[in-house]
Amino acid sequence: MPFTNFDNRHFTTAEEGNVITALNDLQKAVENKLANLSPEERQQYGSVNEQNKLIINKVKDYHESQPEMSSPDVNWDEFHADHRTRGFLQNTINRLQSILDGLNNAKILHDWDNYRASLSDYEYAKYKNGTDASGYEAKTKELKQFFSGGNSSPDL
């Protein structure tokens, strides 16, 4: 007997509603803080690499420990607000990425279950068609088209 129901952690209707509500709340909470960058702007501003993050952190440390040595041309309140917000965003992104990874993995397992069950059902339809049971000829013809080369016996 084939192994099915690999991941049977299904959402109840109430749980689905809770997730949708949480996502709606999250969207509302961040909608005024999001930015849309064109491909050109993404290339222009790029991403601060690890070396440049070290520079930013060292300048921040100097400003905090020896503010008299800091440039008067820099808006230090804005600098610190940007630094704090950047840290918050990175932590939020990391958490969301972890959730996305878990959701993608769960989806893969549910897709696998559906596919394996579909193959089992196709094999059953072929069996029933072989017994001349009514209606199975059309079903097997419809399903057979999805297998390359018309192979009617997919590998399970």
Distance, in Å, from the CA atom of 8 to the CA atom of 88, rounded to the nearest integer, reads 35
C-alpha of 108 from chain center: 11
The predicted structure's pLDDT at residue 155: 55
Give strand ranges (E) for 6-133.
Answer: none
Quickly list DSSP for 75-110.
-HHHHHHHHHHHHHHHHHHHHHHHHHHHHHHHHHHH
- pLDDT for the residue numbered 61: 98
Each residue's pLDDT tens digit, 92-150: 999 999 999 999 999 998 999 999 999 999 999 999 999 999 999 999 999 999 988 65
**pLDDT at residue 20 greater than cutoff 70:** yes
Q: Where are the domains of the chain?
A: 49-95, 105-156
User: Which pair of structure tokens corresponds to residue 130?
Assistant: 């072989």
Query: Which pLDDT does position 1 carry in this prediction?
Result: 44
Q: How confident is the model at residue 15 (pLDDT cuts 50, 70, 90)?
A: very high
For residues 70 and 76, the answer to whether their CB atoms sit within 8 Å is yes
* Residue 7 in this model has a pLDDT that exceeds 70: no
Percentage of the chain with pLDDT > 70?
91
